[in-house]
Structure 1
């Protein structure tokens, strides 16, 4: 197995998702800095609206970088997306607050988030195509899981950075300048992008190139596209409700201690990352569809009792149990989704198709999930809204998985 694509593909996703997810982990502070309001929920909703705006650009990023990936080469698309991500992330770490420049701070935050969304749209989907195509048969599922490993590794690093800053700094220093430090470190993604372009060989793709990949996907592969998006709900909604949004949910609505919530969120994310390659390997042995079917069942069965325990007890151990159990299920999802989506499309449109599948689903459902769940909890005063969302995702993903096609020519 050629290790360079695996290493750099995983690093690419790790750095890109570290950059992208920091916004969610520091949402509470960012809401105070850029959207001040007497009502903390109003400020938070404004910030999550900006969070969602970045997701709106991701499908465009998938189409743009997908065209490069299918027409020019996989590594060029991947490295370009990393370079695009580095600049706005660094700028976010230096952006003046609302108190300094008024409404221009809010506008600047939106523009930065839009460019971040464009960049990650070219990475998500394309990164696992990049590693799977360079892996031998029988190990493609495991290889694809390593790209997901990088994705969740980035989320884990982001959670770890938030936890470290919170533990090391006073509240005053954290809100003044400490939250900016992790964003400034995100500029390192540019180095990974340049390294991919220089040191990683391009995979030889013998398939006839599509003149306009997105047009062919929408006219000839609609079924694969819709069903792929159906199973990606596990990713698109699951991780944002169960981990990224959980820090806000537990501290704002359940009034749990922030340091404990961040600690267990980081531990759970770390566990999730470790589960990913294990289930990628298992998918190669018993079938990725079988593994993912178990995930769908777990979402539908475990969400209600675990959330019920958490809501009724407000106990840290209830939170830890919920997140650790779902870290196992999400690890299985991230370990098998890459190979299933890859094999649903022919090679000459694969980069675009995978990117569009993931990014449209995540933009429509994942990007809006924190906003919608926050609004519904606040409006209905029903703390079980996240549990209901997770159950629905499990059921819908299971239906999509049942008829997900496999294109046999995709023996990459």
Structure 2
């Protein structure tokens, strides 16, 4: 194992540097999710942190400690949140920042990073390819590289989340933390375990990007072939060596959740708690909702690590979530092309208690018989049983029904 482990003292020093810069984010108890999961659930709201995620803590701690070493500026690679943290910190320090982001990075994160004054370079399809490009820029420019996770000062900054959490909830029994490269869970694990060793630290990864889990399983850091997930903030193919060593020391368990579970958790947080959380930030709740870690009856804190999610993604998640819950239905049917036919169909739907969101009537499609018209309808429904009642009512009135996915 490496001898450069981050210490509790370094995390305490990081908190001093961050005083007046980062927010001490709220710890919010959720009665709704406590009832749903059988645990006492508390959310550490890092989605309300400046720049929209915990990443500000580590980036600022690193840059603030550099001093004159950063005269040529800083360079970083990021899927989005670290980019904003570095850009913010560099702006405060009065030094230039260049951030390399994957070409598919959410436009909101790109724009936010530029708004903090950084130069953004789009390169590669995933974080790891952006990282390689950032290293080349660093070699050419002489700027200081600010690693997103595998850096003691960055990890120490992230560890201040754990300090706050333990002060706010001294009797916490388990903490669920997202894992991408491992910087957050390394810092949080150190901050908590060094003070209360009996607290369970549980890491959560996207099932499509389980790089740290694989490293722990095989005993060495390796690169995954791919890491495509809705949780772009933790889509890391290769975790850090320092973070790997710290995870083995401080983390009790790593579990995974798939993209459908993540998407549903984003929607539930939005609807039930009025919290906007990105994919990476929702994985801890997903692990609890889908019973991945056996914490029934325990006092559990979940780090909601960020809230920088593209509104277009939110729209898709909402629509898919409504379909999954039976609260949205798209269907196609054929009616006769004569006056009153559409009115009769609408009356049938009104009789079944469905609310029409949109309707498209087409009588010139090549595959629609003459004197008939195809109708596609989007409906607001109550649940799956209601959908079955609608389809049954339509069948009784002579309509053929095709449910559209």
Higher helix share: 1
Q: What TM-score, normalized by structure 1, do the two folds share?
A: 0.24
Select the structure of larger CA radius of gyration.
2
Q: What TM-score, normalized by structure 2, do the two folds share?
A: 0.24
- 1 or 2 for the larger relative contact order (CA 8 Å, sep ≥6)? 1
